């Protein structure tokens, strides 16, 4: 079984590599939340849920800055086979502040800065830069 979060991030990275405008992928609440955090932080453009029932898709517009992709790469930290949990003070800035880490917390998906400000820890999903 594949990891749906890694698959989503790889699809976004590959779409950026071939300069696509948008991508569509199977919908889940976790993927939608992750895409909304990426949109809020400027790594992707608009995020929209399309379709009904089992045919739901998540449409993500990609964002380019002066012709360059807004997202360069990602690193999946917590995997299905090995979960990684951290406290609010245990998250280091990704790529020395040039990237961001995303955590799944009791308050929803947050960036590492939001988690420190809210003083809440959780599962360290990934780092994006």
Which has the closest alpha carbon to 8: 69, 74, 55?
A: 74
1-20 per-position pLDDT tens digit = 589 999 999 999 999 999 99
Run of H or E including 113: helix 112-118
CATH number for the segment(s) 4-69 = 3.30.1370.30
Report how far residue 91's alpha carbon sits from residue 107's, in angstroms, rounded to the nearest whole number.
Answer: 16
78-111 per-position pLDDT tens digit = 999 999 999 988 887 777 778 899 999 999 999 9
| Class of domain 74-128 (CATH, top level) | alpha beta
Please state, rounded to an integer, the average pLDDT across all residues of the chain: 93
Domain boundaries in the chain?
4-69, 74-128
């Amino acid at each position: 079984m594949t990891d749906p979060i890694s698959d989503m991030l790889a699809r976004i990275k590959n779409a950026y590599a071939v300069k696509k405008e948008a991508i569509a992928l199977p919908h889940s609440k976790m993927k939608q939340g992750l895409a909304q955090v990426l949109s809020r932080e400027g790594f992707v453009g608009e995020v929209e849920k399309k379709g009904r029932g089992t045919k739901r898709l998540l449409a993500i517009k990609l964002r380019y800055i002066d012709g360059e992709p807004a997202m360069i790469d990602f690193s999946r930290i917590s995997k299905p086979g090995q979960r990684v949990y951290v406290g609010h003070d245990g998250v280091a800035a990704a790529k020395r502040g040039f990237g961001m880490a995303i955590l799944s917390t009791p308050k929803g998906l947050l960036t590492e800065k939001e988690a420190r400000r809210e003083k809440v820890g959780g599962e360290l999903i990934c780092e994006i830069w």
